[in-house]
Structure 1
Amino acid sequence: MDIQAVDRVGMILALFGPHREAVTSSEAADLIGLNRTTTYRYLTSLVNANVLALRDDRTYAPGPTLVQLGAFALGRRDILRLAVEPMQTLARDTEITAVLSLWGASSPVVAHVEEPPRREIVVSVRVGMQLSTAAAQTGVFHTFMSDAPSVARAARQLPTEERERIGRLVRETAERGYAAQVSTRGIAVLATPVWDEHGLAASLALLSTRDVLDVHAESSELAALRNAATTISRSLGAPE
């Protein structure tokens, strides 16, 4: 496979994200700027290799090989091994779901979840979920990792309204040092950065309903979240 072919495959795979779970052949061609015949050939080859999957509605979505590779890559990250115990402690002590996210190709991806063991009803998310631009953890990455090429590119590619929303979230997060959010549906999130020796490594969050999770600066939940993030950061070699 020549360099041009590799670039084109990369462009096709980069189409998938929180705002686009599947594409048609014609949509893919328009989005990456190739003619439809060439795009169809690439899509067909990727389906044959199990990198993409062709759905019954004739749209293309990430296939088993791509999902397997993504799971393997996430599983190899030291942070997932080092974060488990502090996240279990955080979820147990606060009785709130703890969520760790890593930056993917163009948005944060949920990498690990710890649910509170004693609470019968919990709010949770699935591992592998790509977070939207409205998510508090997305704001953490756009605030503290804005100079990373993939983050800057993701911001540039957003529609104007979403880019403005990210801008407001970034300003709030930079001022507070953490992200706080309560949705119209009553879902509350607190998110804070996790660091390693190179910079931002992940975002750690607490997720529940607004009746359970206090998102104010003086809350005990925020203090516990920050303590857990500090513990993980130190284990990753972040400067004191």
Structure 2
Amino acid sequence: MSVKSAVRVLEIFELLRDHPQGLNIKEIANALDFPQSSTFHLVKTLYERGYLSLAELKKYKLGPKLIQLGTRSMESMDLTRDARLPLTRLMEQVEETVFMAILSDGEMVYVAKVDNNRSIRTTAQIGSRKPMYCTGLGKAILAFLPKERRAKMLAHTPLVPLTENTVTDHEEFERLLEHYKEQGYATDDGENEEGLYCIAAPVFEANGQVIAAVSVAGPKERMIKRHEFIVFHLTQTTKLISRNMGFMA
């Protein structure tokens, strides 16, 4: 079921895409057959948030915020495509399931998964979303976010226990994130799914900001026995993907 106001916003964007010189509110309302009063409020909100800009003669055009969002979207798609070969090589080296995820609206979203023939069953699939605080991927991203942004996210994130291993104390969680940042990778010891152990490392874009994370996941006993071996190949892979994204450490 579509939301009327959201559909109208998208129709405004699509209309202005075809009118680079801009349209005024009356022209937008007439072209889309919207009431002029509601068009005014929608356009005003979009302008105040940077999604529209105001040109001469009170004409509105697509704004700079859309460029930022479009650029981020393209980067995500390029990241997924360009990382495919390194992720496959990593799976072959460590012989475990490999994942990659990005941050989206306060959660992590799986954008790649490379199965091994001895993979264990997991609910994680491409496109599925998980909380940041109880996954290796999410914690690897959180650990390397700017502190202000991280604090703002965590202030609105209840640490709900999903298993008996989930960390639910905010102070302890912050200490863990600092530890992960120092060592360069994060772990998930059955905190999201019982029996599943993950090691995850961050991926950076050209400006040095964390853009994604890659993880190796498998049964705890098997992962612990090969911990250093997995960490080495995992971090070599994330460094390679980061370089491909323009990051120079």
Is 2:237 aligned against 1:237? no
The alignment partner of 1:100 has SS state of strand
The alignment partner of 1:213 has SS state of helix
The alignment partner of 2:223 has SS state of coil
Matches within 5 A, 1:94-133: 94-116=94-116, 119-124=117-122, 125-132=124-131, 133=133
Match of 1:189 among 184, 198, 206: 198
Report the number of matched residues. 167
1:176: Cα distance to partner?
1.5
CA distance in 2, matches of 1:123, 1:176: 28
Is 2:153 aligned against 1:154? yes
Is 2:96 aligned against 1:87? no
- Cα distance 1:88–1:238, how it changes in 2: closer, same or farther (>3 A)? same
Unaligned runs of 5+ in 2: 10-72, 160-167
Given that 2:97 and 2:216 are in contact with CA atoms closer than 8 Å, whether structure 1 keeps it comes out as yes
Letter in 1 for 2:125: R
CA distance in 1, matches of 2:187, 2:76: 29
CA distance in 1, matches of 2:83, 2:221: 27
C-alpha distance after superposition, 1:151-187 (max 9, x if no partner): 4432111237453453133122123211023227321
C-alpha distance after superposition, 1:133-164 (max 9, x if no partner): 21122211221113474x44321112374534
1:226: Cα distance to partner?
0.8
Matches within 5 A, 1:171-210: 171-183=178-190, 185-198=194-207, 199-210=209-220
The alignment partner of 1:128 has SS state of coil
Match of 1:225 among 234, 240, 243: 234
CA distance in 1, matches of 2:241, 2:119: 27
Matches within 5 A, 1:66-81: 73=73, 77-81=77-81
Letter in 2 for 1:209: P
C-alpha distance after superposition, 1:85-108 (max 9, x if no partner): 000011112111111010000121
What percent identity do the matched residue pairs reach? 18
Letter in 1 for 2:91: A
- Cα distance 1:178–1:138, how it changes in 2: closer, same or farther (>3 A)? same
Matches within 5 A, 1:9-24: none
- Cα distance 1:146–1:107, how it changes in 2: closer, same or farther (>3 A)? farther
The alignment partner of 1:131 has SS state of strand
1:130: Cα distance to partner?
1.6
User: TM-score by structure 1 length?
Assistant: 0.61
- Cα distance 1:134–1:195, how it changes in 2: closer, same or farther (>3 A)? same
Letter in 2 for 1:170: L
Given that 1:143 and 1:173 are in contact with CA atoms closer than 8 Å, whether structure 2 keeps it comes out as yes
Question: Please, which moves more after superposition, 175-184 or 229-238?
Answer: 175-184
CA distance in 2, matches of 1:188, 1:91: 15
CA distance in 1, matches of 2:146, 2:219: 29
